[in-house]
Structure 1
Amino acid sequence: MITLDKIRTEMEQLLEAEKNLRYVEVRADSLEEALADAAAQLETRPILLEYEVLEQGFNGFVGLMKKPWFIRAYQNAASLKNTAKKKKGEDILAGALEDDGKPKDVNGLFFVRHFGSQINLKVIPPVGKGVPVNIDDVMLQLKRSDTLSLEEDIVKKTVEKGSDGEYIPVGLYSHNQAGDASFYVDISADEMKAYIVATAPAVGGAEISSDRILRMLDSQRVVAGINKEFIDTFVDTPVYDTPFLVAEAPAPVDGRDAYIAYNFETDRSKLRIKETESGQVDFKELNLIQNVIEGQPLAQKIPPERGKGGKTLFGRYLEAKNGKDIHIPMGKNVTLDADGRTVLAAANGQVLLVNDKITVEPVMELDAVNIKTGNITFLGTVIVKGNVEDGFDVHASGNIEVHGSVGSSRLEADNGDIVVSQGIMGKDKGFLKSGKSLWAKFIQNATVEAEEFIIVHDGIINSNVTANKKVLVQGKRASIIGGHTFATEEIHAKNIGNSTGGSETILEVGFDPKAKKRNDELIESQEKLTKELDEIELNIQTLQNQKKVRKTLPHDKEESLNALIARQSDIQAEMDEITSEIQELQAYLRELKVVGKVSASGMVYAGVKIFIRDVKEEVRTETKAVTFFYENGFVRYGKYEPPSEEDAKRSPDGYSTN
């Protein structure tokens, strides 16, 4: 049977549920957008929303008569309960822990308040090593002159176990209703904040409970932003005759605009000079170039955020702006990843902003390489319009082109050519290494290596030059004077050596320079190890003879003997490996099919030493227009053979011979 009391109870429960129910009203172009906006405002996911359509939207026809959707969305009751539990747990945990996650030591607290005609007690237990609430202190506050009765058992139990943050009735007092505390609600002009202004109770009057505050807010039609924590704080520690904030409506929060997150430094002034290991500043390492490789992520667009709508204390919805989208600033030699937001390098080179666009430059142009630029390391081609000054380095993965001259510097082109228009003056310190070929007007007092050709216009003077194919000196003054010139296939020049003697001129062809260099290094190592082994064997023999005579050795000499025997074994193993590698290299050099030849269209002066394969020929008298070649184990003199037409016209990739 349905009774009036049952209906009243159900209505009260329904009213309480409606008070806790959170909802927003949203307009959007589509239902999906409306639900996403509502979920952002309610701090949940669209799947956890329940909603009702207030006005159905319409996409329109050819852009005309378009109508937005208007919905009211509610947070699912179960998820709302879970959110509240989670927040309460987080608040308790945050309050009980130090910044490092360790428990705080917090003393217990208690509050005695008079609501209506009841005496109420709230007890907060201690945390960590905090001091618990003292029952005597509690009883002292409870036993006022107007106290009528106390439930001491309930008081004792509450003090021991706490009251779960609630006020527990523990007795009665002589209530003077006329002396009750009073308050009123003051709402700000923008309807976003609500304050209470309270007057202290008179003797025997009741204090203000949280229920009284909630009822007053309800009577003022405040439905949003009610802060239970603020209200509980007021009840625990009342503030009289001063506005106290109890409700603050959620203000709208505009969505953040899209932006570009760069993976490189866009402000070149922030690039720092490198320091050496000792902490000193190395002004040659200015660190101004930001090298990237093909496929490397350079930047990413962070998409805009949806705005989070707010509402007033009375539940009126406040619109928020969505963040603005932006275009990705794409320059040259970059591409987008499959996600449509990540910018990738489409080539090796230097990444920088050119007219605010992300760009990869595969070619770096410099007026010069000096103290202003520092050393250059670049994943691409480097073009120097002036000189590379003494003591500065250029390292590139592509070509290196120098329109001026190169001093006592180090240039390395890993996979490209090196072109020096005005020549190389190495001052016995310069080093150039090309992954392909090298062109220069002249080479003087430098070390030069190339995987393919070395082509010089005027001459090679007192330098160590190595080419895995050919060395071609082809100008009017094309001479090789002094130094050591290697080539696997051929060496061509006009004049070789010097009529006045001076520096020794050595030319070698018909072998792999790298293999021969390695062979020479191994032979040198073998000689050093042999010498060390002879000394060790002599020391071992001496100690062993002493041991035979004395039957025993002092501890330190015994240790020395063992160490020498161990080193002897290591050297023998190392020498076996070296001998095996030398045999392999020498077999390779003997079987090398390239015979090799040296040609001079002009004069070859006396004293020049020529090695073809393993055969040495020292020129005794001046010889003109000659080609030296290998035949039947000897170096022969033949008629001059000019370089092939292809070699004579050879030029760097991307350059002409003009």
Structure 2
Amino acid sequence: MKRYKVTGKDKTILIKKVAEKLNTEISRIAYKTIEESSDKVVLEVWIKEESSENLKTTLISKEKVIVNNSGDIKKSNSTIKEKQELENKNIKEKNDENIKENKIKLSITKEGVYLKINFGDVPFNEVINLISERSIEAPEVNKINQAYENRGENIKIAEYYEGLYVSSIIEIIISEDKMEAYMNFTEPKGLELPKLKDVLEKIREFKITYGIQEENIIQAIKEKKYNLDIVVAKGTKPVNGENASVKYHINSVARKNSLKPTLLDDGKVDFKNLDIIENVEEGAILAEKINATKGKNGFNVFGEEITAKDGRDINLSKGKNTYISDDGNKIISEISGMVSCRDKKISVLDTFVIDSVGISTGNIDFVGNVIVKGDIMPDYSVRATGNIEVKGNVEKAALYAEGDIVIRGSFFGKGSGKVEAQGDVILNFAESSTIQADGNIIANEALMNCKVYSQKKITVIDKKGVIVGGEIKAAEGIEAINLGSNRGIKTDIEVGNNPQIVEEQRKIELEIEDMIKKMQQIEKNIAVLSKLKTAGQLEPEKEDFLNQLISAKFITTKTISDLKIQIEDNTEKGNEVKNATVNVHAYCYPGIKIKIRKGTYFVKEELQNVKFYYEKADVKFTSLV
């Protein structure tokens, strides 16, 4: 089999011209690259034998041919030994740098699979393991031995088979918000794993420039995390600025949500020291604004800036007898008096003190706090924009406060007495009364045959601590020492539903029904008059009436829409309160109906030290720990 040495500028064109000169097909041309540069290619070429018998590479003289760019073949004498020496020299020069960096180098090219082992301590089993791991097809053991013995030389140990060796495919995935980029790479077959530079080059193709996670890439390649989405770039989310807030220099704001009597060591409740009044001096700073902060912009993986929102500013709202400082950042008291906090406004109020309420005083309606040193007589009322404190008894009277109501004596409602507070209600004893509070309701001794509604908790835990008869509803829970009586008096208990919102929803729904009926009548009249107008038979005075009906329709439509929005708002607030319970420390008697959220339980036997709770649409009970 003759071999030729050919020279040209392009390998593909060179092989084509050799095939033409040798009058054979390109597929039958075999070649080996001797030298290759940007402007010159030197190949050793031959025609493939029909048989697979190996040919010995001996020192037999061969004809050396050079195919120039014009396709001419020039003959010259050379030997296989000379060719191999030249090849070895070129390989050695090309791989000198790699020899210093790698102990074992396995190169797979279309010319074949080459093995080079550097000088130094290289265990033979490491060589075998590498070849095995790379799934090299049909390696020649004698060639492997040759490479191991001839350190630094590039020895061909196997042929290259098309389709057998597959490179790893690197895929880059971008998240929808452009804040993360992922790499997914497949397992290579017979070829090396991708390198960091390969992945970075792929990332650059996608114009990803920000937040590149090189450590993630290196670890994923090292641990061979094939076919997994690996984060290779992360953006920085924008950080919105903090909204302006109010810092209070008074205790009333914090204490407002935790107002309750002190439980003494002996188990009794201290009604004498409630600290419901906080006094301030003229010129006192009541609150100050903490200014809003600027937002910090972020960047996505493409380096595009994401604008952050600046914090929202607020304006301080002053209440009665206060003013706002010139810089707009402080609320200051104009007078000496008692602090009251309502609807995010701070006021300083005077306090009205009276011995008793009765025939000599008439009804009381005061802007501020009211302190009654004695009793409130039947059929009188006391109204206050602040708190009401009664040190005596209240009989069949009405008390209304935008703050808290404290009755240190007893409240005998006689069926018509009523107490309403936007804050807490604290009293000693109540009978046949209606008590309503936006906050907590705390009774010292008993609630008997009362209607009691709290948006927070109802507590009766001093002395006998009895709740018996009537209707008792609290959004967050009810706690008593004794519930009901051994006479089986009917008592309705309900927790977990906000009584105020439930009642408000009911009223709104009734109002919507009325407005819909009104709308139907309006539309009926409009239809009749519009028919006359279309026929040109509408009288001038009825034209004005039609216009009024149309305006009424628009107004009614808007009203119905607003009412529906109110229902949606109430729904968002939530009628149901999770974790609401009924706790009874001593006895719970038959005759009690307990409703928690959507579940109902009728007490049919005497229970002790029990907690009722809601679970899986039902009311259950367990021992009170």
The TM-score normalised by the length of structure 2 is 0.39
